[in-house]
Structure 1
């Protein structure tokens, strides 16, 4: 299986997963989170499409490990059935997205370590790096949204009395 074809299928699967979660929720905040994540998946899809059209040296790398790994990758998104009922707010949605993105990064890193073809390994590592960036982006957004709950400055001065 061609590595970039696999990456394109993976991004399409991810986009469909996030769109499905967005459609299943009645909460606007959660819908916005998953819609944004679906758009990010589309951006990665477009990036991989451009790589495939481009003259990258290893863009046509073939991987035998991908054939074996496809079933395992599908499990990352299959676990989402019924998940939407457990998400009560946008922070829960971000936490879920962080877990999914972490699983994707871990999947590609393990795949790269088991790949024998040097060109395919280089391309898988490149894809893993892009997925790591997507993971960090989701994590940073989560941290920003959660900051008011973690911020203790409001409590620092609340118990000061004049003597």
Structure 2
């Protein structure tokens, strides 16, 4: 299977999946997260299209390993678990798990690929996906910070919480 066709198919499926979840949920915060993810998938799709245009014609783009790889989003047909989420943190955790699975898919495919040029393409695509995952992890850490951090059990440090967007009072 063509490496870029596979990667772009994954991104298109991700866009559709996250848009479907955004449209089905009633929670505004979760809807915003899934909408953001749909836009991120669209941005990655454009990156892969541009990357495909830059690859030399001599580079072989077909991978036998991907013939047996599954599109992660096609396995996520049941939306019920995603729609039972109650908080933004639940949605971020869900998205992180999906993105980790995508990164693992490309890592595994690159390890099993015998052609050096195709292995390099799989690693480049995996690196783009990994940057996306790191970005999401940073957002999650920011959103989750008030739940994870309290320097002292004193009232003198309550001003710190305005940094996390949850300051009330």
Aligned-pair CA distance for 1:77:
4.5
Alpha-carbon deviation of 1:148?
1.3
Residue in structure 2 matched with residue 156 of structure 1 by the alignment = 153
8 Å Cα contact 1:76/1:100 also seen in 2: no
Q: Give the superposition deviation at 1:81.
A: 2.3
Contact 2:72 2:102 in 1 (8 A): no
Contact 1:23–1:31 (CA under 8 A) maintained in structure 2: yes
Matching residue of 1:34: 34
In structure 2, distance between residues paired with 1:58 and 1:144: 44
Match of 1:49 in 2: 49
TM-score, reference length from structure 1: 0.87
Whether the aligned pair in 1 keeps the contact of 2:89 and 2:144 (CA below 8 Å) is yes
SS of 2:68 mapped into structure 1: helix
Deviation of the 1:80 alpha carbon: 4.6
Q: CA deviation at 1:151?
A: 1.8
- Report the structure, 1 or 2, having the larger helix content: 1
The DSSP-based 3-state class of the residue aligned with 1:156 is coil
Gaps of 5+ in 2: 157-169
Alignment partner, residue 86 of structure 1? 84
The 5 Å alignment of 1:3-82 reads: 3-56=3-56, 60-69=60-69, 72-74=70-72, 77-78=75-76, 80-82=78-80
Structure 1 residues 85, 157: CA separation in 2 closer, same or farther (over 3 Å shift)?
same
Q: Deviations over 1:88-113 (max 9, x none)?
A: 01111000000000000011101110
1:98 aligns with 2:86: no
Write the deviation string for residues 31-86 of structure 1: whole angstroms up to 9, x where unpaired: 000101110100100001111222446765111111111xx334664255212332
- Please say if residues 52 and 59 of structure 1, whose CA atoms lie closer than 8 Å, have aligned partners that are also in contact: no
Report the aligned-residue RMSD.
Answer: 2.0
Count of aligned pairs between the two proteins: 156
